[in-house]
Chain A
Amino acid sequence: MNRMFAIVEREMRKFFRSPTLMIMSLMMPILQLLIMGNAFGGKIVGAHVAVVDYDHGPEAVKIREGFDSIAVNIKTFTTVEYTDENKAREDVRTGKIDAAVVIPAQYSRRVYAQDAPRIGFVVDNSDLFTSGSLEAEMQSLVTALTAPVIQPRLASAIALEIVELYPYVNYMKFLLPACCALAMYISVMIGGGMLYIDDKARGVHEGYLVTPITGLELVMGLNMAGAIKAVLSGICLVVIGSLMAGLGVIFNPVADLELLALIVVTAIAFNGMMFLMMVRVDDPLVPRAMFGVLNLLLFYPSGAMYPIAAFPPWLRAIAVIDPFTYCVHGFKAILLKDGGFVAIQYDLLFLFVFGIGTLLIATPLFKRTL
C-alpha cells in the first residue's frame, strides 16, 4: 500500500512543481467558456435593414414607427432609406445591408380593404442566425400590426401558457457543464496519458519495475494520481466557471457534495478509459495524435453542445457508451437545475461502473516487465 502511495506522491509532487501543466489543462475550457459563451449567447444588435416605401400611406407610417421602436429599444436593427427595390436587393446580396423591407404601393388601401395586404422582406439566408433573428423581429411586428385594436371579450384562439422551471439560462451557463467535463478530460489526457507515456519513454518506469512494487500497486498508484489531478481540475473549473457564468449553486453545501461525488466518479471513469487506451502504448506521439480525435469522438456526441435527441441512431449509440454523456448530464442536473442526488444517481452509477470496468480490463494488460 505504501508503495502505491509513493507513486501517488511522486506524481503529485511533479504535478504541483509544473504549474504550466495545471494552467494549460484549465486554460482551454475557461477560454472556451469565455469566448463561446459570449459569442454564441448574444442577440443580433445593430443590423442594417433597408426600407423601400412605395406606399407612403398611414399604414406604412405605422410600420416605420414600429421600426423606430425596435431601433431605440431592443436595437436589433436600424433602417436605411432606399427608393429602389432592385438596388436594395442587390445591396443585401453584396452584404452592404442585412435585409430589406419593401412596402408596396397601395399597401394602406389593401389593409383598410382587408384585401390580403403584404410586405416584402428580403433576407440573406446564407447567414441563418442573422436572418432568423430579423425574421422573428419582423414576424412579431406584423403580429402586432394585425392584432385588433379592441380585443374580443371571449378569446377564440388557443393560448399556450409556458411555465419556465428554472431562471433564464444564457449560453455561458449552458456551456459550463461541457467545459467542466472538458477540463477533466484534458487533465486526464495530459496528466495521465501523455505524462505516463513520456515517463515510459524516458525510462522512469524502468526504475519502478526494478523495485518490489507489484503490478497492481503500480497501476493503482498511477490511476489514483491521475484521478486526483482530474478532480482538482474539475473543482477548479466548477468554481471558476460558476463565478464567471453567475451561477450561485456552488454556495449550496449539499450541491457541492453532489458535485464532488460527480467529479470523483468522472475522474475515475476518464482515467480508467485513458489507462486502458494507453496501457500497451510506448510511442509518445500516440497520445498526442489521439488527443484531438478522442476529443471530437467523446465531447460532441455527449450532448454537450447539441441535444442527443437530434442525433442519428449511430451517433446516439456512441452517446450511450460515452462517459462524457453522463458527466455532462450530471453537471447540467446540478449546476443548472440543482436537481439533487436523484437527478444524478444513474450518472454516478454509470461512471463508477465504467471506471472500475476499464481498470479491471487494463490491469491484466499492464506489463510488469519491459
Chain B
Amino acid sequence: MSVHPTSPAETQNGPRQAIAVEHIVKRYGDFEAVKDVSFSVADGEIFGLLGPNGAGKSTLIRMMTTLVPITAGKAIVAGYDVARDPDAVRRMIGVIPQALTSDPDLTVEENLSIYAKLYSVPRAEREKNIAEVLEAVDLVKWRGAQVKTLSGGMRRRVEIARGLVHNPSIFFLDEPTTGLDPVSRIAVYEMLDNLRKTRHLTMLLTTHYMEEADTLCDRIAIVDHGTLVALGTPAELKRTVPGANVVEVHFGHDLPQWQTRLEGLDGVTSVQAESAGFYRVLTSSGSKTTMQLVEMAASLGETLTSLSVQNTTLDDVFVHYTGRQLRDELVKPPAFTLPPRPGAQP
C-alpha cells in the first residue's frame, strides 16, 4: 500500500520538498523489509516515522541517508537522488543513528572537531560551529569532558551536536530518545523543537514513543511490517479514528455481558476488552457515554472500580490502522528467558 498525501508546506509555500520518497523498496533475499513506501517531507517540517520495532523505520531512514542501498524506487533528499549522488546527499544531511557513534574515549570537543573535519568544514568555521552547537545542546561546560564520563542524556546531546556540526539542512534521527529516562527525553524534545526554530532544520525522526511523535512531529507516518499504513498530522490521524473520546472503565466483577452491553450504548463505535472487567470504549461523546455507564452499573447493582475519559491518542490511531496496540509489540515476551543468576537481586 502506498500513500501520497501532500504536505502542508507544499500547498502553502509551493512544491519545496526537503525529502521525496517514491515507491521505495528494500529486500534482503526473499524478505521485503520495506514495501513500496512513498511520502514527502516539506522544508522545515518535523516528520515522524512511527511504528513498532522491526516495522522497517530504521531501514527506511538508512536508505534515505545512503547507509543501505535501495532495492527499488527513488529517494530524493535535499534535491539529490540518494542512489545517484550519495555524496551530495551526505553533505546536506546530519544523521543521528540509533547507536551512539561518538567515541567514548575522546572529549566532546574532540569528537565534534573530528566530525567537522570529516565533513570538510573549513578550519575558520570549525571553531565557530563547535561553539554554536555546544551552546545549542547546552554542553558548553562539558566540552572538555570525555564522552564516557557523561550521562545517557548528555551523550545523546553530544550525538545531536555531532550531527549538526557541519550545518546540515536536513536532520535524520533514528530513535533519538531510546534508552533515556523521561526527564532526559523531554529535554531532548525541547532541544529538537528549539533547533528547528533557530536553525530552520527539516527533521525526519523514527520513534516508537507515541508522546514523542505527538509532541514533536508536524506530520506522522505510521509504518507497520514495512508498509506505510497512515500519514497525516497528529490531529488528522486522530480524526480518522471513529469516536472522539476513549472511556476506560474497570468493573468490580467481570461479567460476560459487559462487552455486548457496552457496544449497545449510544455513540459507542468500538469496545476493546483489555483484561478481566477492564474495557476501552471508543465513543463520539465521552460525557454522554460516562453517564450511561454509571446508570447501567447502578441498575445492575455492579460497582465501577475506575472510570476515565480521554481524547483519542495515537495509540488508538495505531490500533485502528493495524488492528493491535503498539505497546503490545514493544512488550512482546522474549522466546527464551535466561534463568536468574544465583544470588542475583530480583
- B65: which of A6, A203, A210 is its contact (CB, 8 Å)? A210
Cβ of B35 to closest chain A Cβ, rounded Å = 20
In Å, the complex CA distance between A124 and B95 comes to: 72
Q: Chain B residues with Cβ under 8 A from A211's Cβ?
A: 90, 115, 118-119
A208 and B67 in contact, given A10-B106, A13-B105, A203-B101 (Cβ under 8 angstroms): no
Q: Are A202 and B99 in contact (CB under 8 A)?
A: yes
Q: Does A206 contact B (CB under 8 A)?
A: yes
Known: A14-B103, A211-B90, A214-B87. 5 other contacts (CB 8 A): A2-B120, A10-B110, A203-B100, A210-B67, A369-B69
Q: Which residues of A contact B (CB under 8 A)?
A: 2-3, 5-7, 9-10, 13-14, 17-18, 202-204, 206-214, 369-370
Residue of B nearest to A218 (CB): B118
Q: List residues of chain B with CB within 8 A of the CB of A210.
A: 65-67, 90, 93, 95, 97
Interface residues of B (CB under 8 A from A): 62, 65-69, 87, 90-91, 93, 95, 97-103, 105-106, 110, 114-115, 117-120, 146, 162
Q: Complex formed: what's the CA distance from A214 to B91 in Å?
A: 12
When the two chains form the complex, which single residue of B65, B100, B102, B118 contacts A213, counting CB atoms closer than 8 Å? B118
Q: How far is the CA of A65 from the CA of B103 in the complex (A)?
A: 73
Q: Which residues of B contact A204 (CB under 8 A)?
A: 101, 103
The tally of CB-CB contacts under 8 A between chains A and B is 74
Contact of A6 with B114 in the complex, beta carbons under 8 Å:
yes
Main secondary structure of the interface of B (DSSP, over half): loop
30 of the cross-chain contacts (CB-CB < 8 Å) are: A2-B117, A2-B120, A6-B118, A9-B114, A10-B103, A10-B106, A13-B110, A14-B103, A14-B106, A17-B105, A17-B106, A202-B101, A203-B101, A204-B103, A206-B99, A207-B162, A209-B66, A209-B67, A210-B65, A210-B66, A210-B67, A210-B90, A211-B118, A212-B87, A212-B119, A212-B120, A214-B87, A369-B67, A369-B68, A370-B67
State the Cβ distance, B256 to closest chain A Cβ, in Å.
Answer: 51
The docked-state distance in angstroms from the alpha carbon of A7 to that of B162 is 15
Q: Do A3 and B65 contact each other (CB < 8 Å), given the known contacts A203-B100, A206-B101, A207-B97? A: no
Inter-chain contacts of B95 with A (CB < 8 A)? 210
With both beta carbons as reference points, the residue of chain A lying nearest to B123 in the complex is identified as A2
CA distance A118 to B126 in the complex (A): 90
Q: How far apart are A124's CB and chain B's nearest CB, in angstroms?
A: 50
Establish whether residues A370 and B105, one from each chain, have CB atoms under 8 Å apart when the complex forms.
no
Q: How far is the CB of B271 from chain A (nearest CB, A)?
A: 44
For A203, give its contact among B68, B99, B120, B146 (CB under 8 Å). B99
Q: How many angstroms between the C-alpha atoms of A7 and B102 in the bound complex?
A: 13
Contact of A9 among B65, B102, B117 (CB under 8 A): B117
Contact B62 A370, beta carbon cutoff 8 Å: yes
Chain B residues lying within 8 Å of A369, measured Cβ to Cβ, are 66-69
Residues of chain A contacted by B90 (CB below 8 angstroms):
210-212
Min distance, Cβ A77 to any Cβ of chain B, angstroms: 56
* A6-B117, A211-B90 known; A206 vs B67 contact (CB < 8 Å): yes
